[in-house]
Structure 1
Amino acid sequence: MTDSLQQHLVVTVIGDIIADELARMRPAESEHWKRRQWHDDDTLVAKHKSTKDSGEDEVAVDSLERLALAGRVVQFFHMGDSGVEDYLLRRNTLSEWAEVILKSRQVHTQNLTVTTSGSTGQPKACEHSWSALVEEVKDFVRIFENDYELSPARVVALVPSHHIYGFLFTVLLPHLIDAPVLRGFKAYSHVRNGGLRAGDVVVGFPELLTQLSSEMLPLPPGVLFISSAGACPASTFHQLYSIGAARVVEIYGSSETAGIGYRSKPESNYRLLSRWRRNTENSQQLIDRQTKGIFEIPDNTQWHAECEFHVAGRVDKAVSVRGINVFPNHIAKYLRQHPAIADATVRPMRPDEGHGLKAFVVLHESLSETITEQSVQTWLSSNLSTAEIPERINFGNQLPRNSMGKAQDWNLDNSPTGKPLS
């Protein structure tokens, strides 16, 4: 198997990038685009040429949207200055776009650039060496086969492919081991309804795996679960093991670094991947053994050995919602820009409340109009992603604080003391 990507995997990544960009540009259609499955013959057509009889394989976009979609693809596959990137604007099907991308990778570079969620403002572009990503996945294959005595045979993808974690394990892993991939609702159905088989690698994120673990049937031998994009609850680990998981592997990393460490028990420390060594002069930094480049660790870490550490809390205060890192402080800051809102705070829901975010809002005293939970959520949807929009909003005369004046949590079932909820 060569390190040059297979075309059908490139099509998958293109589709996920297009879905992500269309969801950003058309917030009201966000869920539609993120549920869509993409194929080689899916075609981008000009909106003015779209008709009621257009097939399901046609996606109508205007000229500015097409430019934005091509720009995202050029950025991800690091096609700038390749000399072939302009051909994306002259081709229409995803398979034709994939051909242009593969040509660019032959004549220019195979490196990739993923972006962070952008929840703190502008998304951050993070370039990755193709050879480093390949070596990381090969490292994990060795860990799976040698340490865990598992041979991956099929990938069941519950995450999109254009984020670094999804790319590594739902694109690069099946590419390197020549394994088939299940995606979308078909993948979800196989996990939930007893369709898994020995050799399956289920690639998920904490919230979804937590939900599925209580609904799944007993597992056949040899099923491996991988989780990332946030801390996986210990109870989810134990539940997956109780129904027969051969191994549950939690991977720690970031968009900037790709994988950093891994563990297969919630009470264990993370073990550092072979690519990295700890910077002895700064415990919050890693050094790439090959390039000698220095990378910041996104969380506060405590080291217990040269290659073992545990995470003591995020530096950037991000939380994971449906596998996407979002920043409550940034969302609260954005809420305060609403003309009716005087102050706001945002927190992740407690496990007994749900899996998203909640907000507490204080309205201006002089406000005469009625502001509802739904109207605030609709206002937020014009600029924030679905994962960033609080699922519940409480209203009150002041933000929740304890007797010492410090911010504290609140219950969702409290009766609001400000303007009425919808």
Structure 2
Amino acid sequence: MALHPDSIRRILIALIEQAQSDLQKKGLIRKDQAISPLVFGTSANEIDAFAVDEATLGFDSLSRLELISSVNRFFQLSQTGAEDYLLLNPSIGRWVETVSQHATLVDEGQTYGFATSGTAGPVSIHLHPLQRLEAEVDALRTGPLNGFACPSRIIALVPPHHIFGFLFTCLLPSMIGADVIDLHRHAPSALARMGQPGDLVIGTPFSWQSVAAAGMAISRGLHGITSGGPSTDETWLRQGPGRPEKMTEIYGATETGGIGSRQAQEAPFSLLEHLAAVDSDIVRAADADQASLPIQDRIVWTADRQFRLGGRFDQVVQVAGVNVLPAQVAACIGEVTGVADVAVRPGNDRLKGFVVAKREVEDLQALEVKIRDHVRMRLPAPARPGTLTFGAALPRNVMGKPCDWAEPEETRSADVPYVAS
């Protein structure tokens, strides 16, 4: 199943936006070159005319090569050698054509490479053949989406280049002929203005929380999909503004794709139909070798093909749908001159940090500014602590073990958490 050119264009824009974000951190791109505001209210033809060069989007010869590598990794253009044409034809429109031609040549042999967020360790690329992705979408259609009228519109509150967004806002629309309304760069209130009865709305727990916090009534008859992070009590509330009439949660990861689904907070997850349980492992039923999927959570089976999550094997937490390793964040803060010790834990809606300053530090406010500047340059927004607490020693309980601490409201960061693009 070939992707629609609109989906390819959306993915390219997201990859460009991601690359520009790195350039902005290094001071190598002007604000007026950022693609996000440039595509607002702009037609596809106008977007296709944008040159991927230094004058238009801020890519010099070196950064353009890095961007091309990113595009190649996602679409696996090296299967046909099509990545060479990206350098020869540096415009978004020609890149859309190149990717489309590549997809035609490889047909069902197409493979996509999805990157992990990088907040739980080094960024890694996980390859998923198109046939596997199509099998997953078919399993979603016959499983959690079965009985829901085939939507003519899918609203995206998530970016398209992560596997969750790709499956629901690129591949699914191509398979059922639905239009895509991309709102992931818009304010949360946009769903109230643009949503229509019968829309399938794709979001994360954080984006659904943001829609509800906007306080505006959305159209009746919306079916919400949530993934990219553990759902919360608020995710499942059906009363009040910003609440869809129906919600489905998909459990999965970049490494594995979707694993299970449920439609109530207290319910166990049901294993998706394209998967099978073999002993204590989960495998793809159609794969000859039936290698177990690298699932990062403990699976507790409650019945045939039904399970609950027993917690992660590692110490990763999720903020705004993004995996974050608190120990890695603490190590980053510890690099700042003047910091003697630091602890990082999950807070109310973001991470929180507790900092012990070195004895010679007299101005804690100046130290906090240094810390925030440092993490802003080194970490994506979901990994930046929302609050910082300073004390003479890290909090410990009566047994001498590390313990939690209250978040000081007055030091809450002005950074706004977001779903990483």
Structure 2 residue corresponding to 1:41, chosen from 41, 48, 52? 48
Check conservation: 2:351, 2:383, Cα contact below 8 A: yes
Read off the aligned partner of 1:72 and give its amino acid letter: S
- Tell me the equivalent position of 1:237: 236
Residues 243 and 163 of structure 1: is their aligned pair in 2 closer, same or farther, counting only changes over 3 Å?
A: closer
Distance of 1:144 and 1:150 partners within structure 2: 12
**Does residue 290 in structure 1 map to residue 286 in structure 2?**
yes
Distance of 1:188 and 1:203 partners within structure 2: 13
**Does residue 126 in structure 1 map to residue 126 in structure 2?**
yes
Name which of structure 1's ranges 134-143 and 123-132 shifts more when overlaid on structure 2.
134-143
TM-score, normalised by the number of residues in structure 1: 0.86
Distance of 1:414 and 1:144 partners within structure 2: 40
CA deviation digits over 1:32-82, x for unaligned, max 9?
A: 7585464542523543xx3xxxxxxx3121122111111000000111242
Distance of 1:344 and 1:308 partners within structure 2: 40
Check conservation: 2:336, 2:370, Cα contact below 8 A: no
**Does residue 361 in structure 1 map to residue 368 in structure 2?**
no
1:157-236 → structure 2 map (5 Å cutoff): 157-184=156-183, 185=185, 188-191=188-191, 193-236=192-235
- Tell me the equivalent position of 2:398: 403
Residues 113 and 252 of structure 1: is their aligned pair in 2 closer, same or farther, counting only changes over 3 Å?
A: same
Distance of 2:243 and 2:143 partners within structure 1: 20
Check conservation: 1:156, 1:187, Cα contact below 8 A: no
Check conservation: 2:329, 2:344, Cα contact below 8 A: yes
Distance of 1:240 and 1:248 partners within structure 2: 12
Distance of 1:415 and 1:205 partners within structure 2: 28
- Tell me the equivalent position of 2:103: 105
Structure 1 residue corresponding to 2:375, chosen from 376, 380, 384? 380
- Tell me the equivalent position of 1:143: 143
How far residue 377 of structure 1 moved from its aligned partner, in angstroms, is 1.2
Aligned length: 396
How far residue 144 of structure 1 moved from its aligned partner, in angstroms, is 5.1
Secondary structure at the counterpart of residue 80 of structure 1:
helix
Read off the aligned partner of 1:165 and give its amino acid letter: F
Residues 261 and 145 of structure 1: is their aligned pair in 2 closer, same or farther, counting only changes over 3 Å?
A: closer
How far residue 122 of structure 1 moved from its aligned partner, in angstroms, is 1.9
Distance of 1:119 and 1:42 partners within structure 2: 34
- Tell me the equivalent position of 1:53: none
Q: For the aligned residues, what is the CA RMSD?
A: 2.6
Name which of structure 1's ranges 99-108 and 376-385 shifts more when overlaid on structure 2.
99-108
How far residue 288 of structure 1 moved from its aligned partner, in angstroms, is 1.2
The alignment-based identity, stated in percent, is 29
CA deviation digits over 1:259-317, x for unaligned, max 9?
A: 0001010000000001211230xx3x311111112212111221112310111212222
CA deviation digits over 1:354-397, x for unaligned, max 9?
A: x2221111122244675432221111222211221112212211
Name which of structure 1's ranges 318-327 and 270-279 shifts more when overlaid on structure 2.
318-327
How far residue 223 of structure 1 moved from its aligned partner, in angstroms, is 1.1
Read off the aligned partner of 1:113 and give its amino acid letter: G
Secondary structure at the counterpart of residue 296 of structure 1:
coil
Distance of 1:34 and 1:239 partners within structure 2: 36
CA deviation digits over 1:97-155, x for unaligned, max 9?
A: 11111222233441101010112332011000101111211222233553x43332211
Secondary structure at the counterpart of residue 67 of structure 2:
helix
Residues 313 and 36 of structure 1: is their aligned pair in 2 closer, same or farther, counting only changes over 3 Å?
A: farther
- Tell me the equivalent position of 2:313: 315
- Tell me the equivalent position of 1:265: 264
Secondary structure at the counterpart of residue 123 of structure 2:
coil
Distance of 2:187 and 2:241 partners within structure 1: 21
TM-score, normalised by the number of residues in structure 2: 0.86
Distance of 1:34 and 1:338 partners within structure 2: 32
Distance of 1:261 and 1:188 partners within structure 2: 27
**Does residue 389 in structure 1 map to residue 351 in structure 2?**
no
